[in-house]
Structure formats: C-alpha cells, structure tokens
Chain A
Amino acid sequence: MAREDVLVTADWAEANLDTPGVVFVEVDEDTSAYDTGHIKGAVKIDWKDDLQDPVRRDFVNQEQFSQLLSERGIANDDTVVLYGGNNNWFAAYAYWYFKLYGHENVKLLDGGRKKWELDAREVATEVPQRERTEYVAKPQDASIRALRDEVTAAIGSKNLIDVRSPDEYAGRLLAPAHLPQEQSQRGGHVPTALSVPWSKAANEDGTFKSDAELREIYVGEAGLDEDKATIAYCRIGERSSHTWFALRELLGYEDVKNYDGSWTEYGSLVGVPIALGDEPGTK
C-alpha cells in the first residue's frame, strides 16, 4: 500500500474540501475543539460517546456503527478523511475502527488538527447538514484487533510493542504526564514488550516520519522482528492505534494488531506476568 493511499497532506485536504464523495471527519476525545472551529464541511465523531458502548467496556456493535455513519451522512463508498487533536491519536483510533468495520476508503490527514492550526489554515464553525445514508458496516475484522488472551500468549513469541512513555513502560508513572497519576492498577509492562513510544513515529508538528525513518525506529533501534506478528498496546488503545497505523498502513507489515484493552485491562488482570523497569524482561 502506498503512503498516499492512507495519508493525505494538508494541501491535498485544502484542495479537496468540496470534492464530492470525500467526507472530512474530526474525531476527538474532547469535541469542544470542533465547536470552536473545524475544517470546513467536516462532521464530528466523539471518541467516547459515539464509539464506545455506554454500558459494557467495548465498542459499539456493527448495527450501532452503521447507524452512526448513516446519521452522519457517510456512505459506504465515500472516501473518509479523518483528523483530530492529540497528534491524531483519536483519528488514528477511528481509522482503525473504520477498518475494523470494513470501510474501504479511509485516510488520515497528516498532522491532524495541530498542523492545520500551526499552518494557520482556515477553520469554520458552521456544522454541515449531510443527508442521511443507509450505511452498512461489515462484521468486525478480527485480524487487526487483539484481545487479552492473545496478548498473554504472545509473550516471548510475537512482537509486543508498548507505545506509552518510557516512565509508564517502566512502571514509574501510571498515566501520561498531562493527567493526574492516581490509578488503581499495577504499573509496568507486558514481559518481552519493546518500548517504542508512539511519539517516535511523529514529527513535532504531528505529521508522520518517513518510511525510512520509521523502519529505522522499529526495526533498527527497537529490534522488531519483521518475520513475526506484532501487537501494539498503550493505556487505552488510542496511542497504539497511531503506532498500528505506522506499522501496518505505512510500513506495510501484514499481521499487526491493536490491543485496545491495553494497560488499563492488562495491568488490572489477576495472575498475569508484569515486568518492571526499563528492560523488556523475559517470558
């Protein structure tokens, strides 16, 4: 897959704001950013309210996802261009989510909201009215989602990539440094997991690094085994979507999964092995 098939530049986006069949979607955890200004014509999806089941800890189901996209006026054959804040974490999560439910043409806007703002590009406040569609989601594609048993089974046999910050990996912090630290679960990482913070894949302005740079980071520096399957995780599965995107969509590794349960699930499981400190540890 070529980079331009999955990633578009801000210039491309600006030139295609009114292109029929192209739908811009802003995805964020805090959607108040959308309300203060968004890319003209973009609709919004709330990472939590729209994509998480309100009761169980899981995704909305196939039917609910179909309903959501129908309401937003997105059709099965539309090209969806996703962008958001936080260096595109939630947009990358949504990208993975759209792929999970089988959407064909979906792309990320390189740099997301941040690059758009730093470039001082135009934003709009009016909310577009898109005509309702009859969207039909496909069954979940299990080949890109890892569940907990698969993660414990992968210890010592598959590539496990922990994309949290070094301090979270080592167990010195339990959450990213912009959040208060009180949490109930244990700190540390899945034994044998390599530490490659998500941020290594991104430039300061939020755009992805080049394929050559990415390959050097994961294979050259971190020691990812290219012949093995890979599972990426973080704390709740959005930062690891960013890395999943870099590994599967940009570098083209075929068997890469995102473990969306991530550390908030793994670090709360009874009886599973945990490694502390800066080293991956052993099985």
Chain B
Amino acid sequence: MAADVDTALSGAGCGAPAQDAALPASVDLEKETVLTGTVVNGEGEFVQGAYVRLLDGSGEFTAEVVTGEGGQFRFFAAPGRWTLRALSRFGDATGELDAVQGLNETKLAVSR
C-alpha cells in the first residue's frame, strides 16, 4: 500500500512497509543494495504471511518483514554476505546471499 511506503520514507515508523508494494520511485538502485525475493511452500505456491528475517555476516538479526501477496519480501541493506531465514505455518527455510549494490533476488522454499 502506497500509504505505508510513504510512512517508511518519511521515517515516521520503524515497522516494515507492505512487502507487495512496488519499489518506491525515490529508491535509487545506484546507491541502495536491495535484497528481494519470494517465499514458496513445498508445492511451489507463494506463501503470504511468512516471517522473513535478515541476519548479518555474524548471524546477528538485522531486520524482519512479513511477506505480502505473492510471497514477496524486500530489504534495504549493504553489499556483503547475508543470511535469510523464513518462518511460516508451512515450515522454515534458510538461505545465504552475497549481495551487491543494486537488486539481489532469491527464493526461499519452506518445509517442515
């Protein structure tokens, strides 16, 4: 939802904006490192409402979002190695990603 993205950009809150919203036009991919992707279940279906957390190179928690319709998630981070951890009612998944500046895409398949 556009309103939530506006809130995020104005710095009013710390909660995650809706994850199925389009990348705001003000986000400059020449500067930002965006980690994005989808969560799918065992049948390959997108999982909405999965909790995806970003852990830094030392395994420390950095951020968490809830996937939107289409199982999407998105983080604004920095180049380097990151771990993505998804929790859902269909099970869990862990993935690793070496992010570079710009858009970095990945898929997380959760299972019990």
A120 to B50, CA, bound (A): 12
CB <8 Å contact, B27 and A178: no
For residue A220, CB closer than 8 A to chain B, the reply is: no
A62 to B66, CA, bound (A): 34
For residue A212, CB closer than 8 A to chain B, the reply is: no
Instruction: Please give the distance in Å from A170's CB to the nearest CB on chain B.
Output: 11
CB <8 Å contact, B51 and A118: yes
CB <8 Å contact, A118 and B87: yes
A75 to B25, CA, bound (A): 45
With A178-B75, A197-B60 given, is the CB distance from A118 to B88 under 8 Å?
Answer: yes
For residue A107, CB closer than 8 A to chain B, the reply is: no
CB <8 Å contact, B74 and A178: yes
CB <8 Å contact, A177 and B87: no
Instruction: Please give the distance in Å from B9's CB to the nearest CB on chain A.
Output: 6
Residues of A within 8 A of B75 (CB): 177-178
For residue A5, CB closer than 8 A to chain B, the reply is: no
For residue A211, CB closer than 8 A to chain B, the reply is: no
User: Chain B: interface residue count, which band?
Assistant: 35 or more
CB <8 Å contact, B63 and A86: no
For residue A65, CB closer than 8 A to chain B, the reply is: no
A238: contacting residue among B14, B24, B27, B85, CB under 8 A: B14
CB <8 Å contact, A179 and B14: yes
A63-106 contact mask (Cβ, 8 Å, vs B): 1 or 0: 00000000000000000000001110110000000000000000
For residue A29, CB closer than 8 A to chain B, the reply is: yes
Within 8 A of B (CB), among A1-41: 28-30, 32
In the complex, identify which listed stretch (A128-136, A146-154, A180-188) lies at the interface while the others stay far away. Answer: A180-188
Within 8 A of A (CB), among B1-15: 1, 4, 7-9, 11-15
For residue A172, CB closer than 8 A to chain B, the reply is: yes
With A120-B89, A178-B75, A181-B76 given, is the CB distance from A165 to B15 under 8 Å?
Answer: no
Q: Chain A interface (Cβ within 8 Å of chain B)?
A: 28-30, 32, 47-48, 85-87, 89-90, 114, 117-118, 120, 165-167, 172-173, 175-183, 197, 199-200, 204-205, 234-236, 238-239, 264
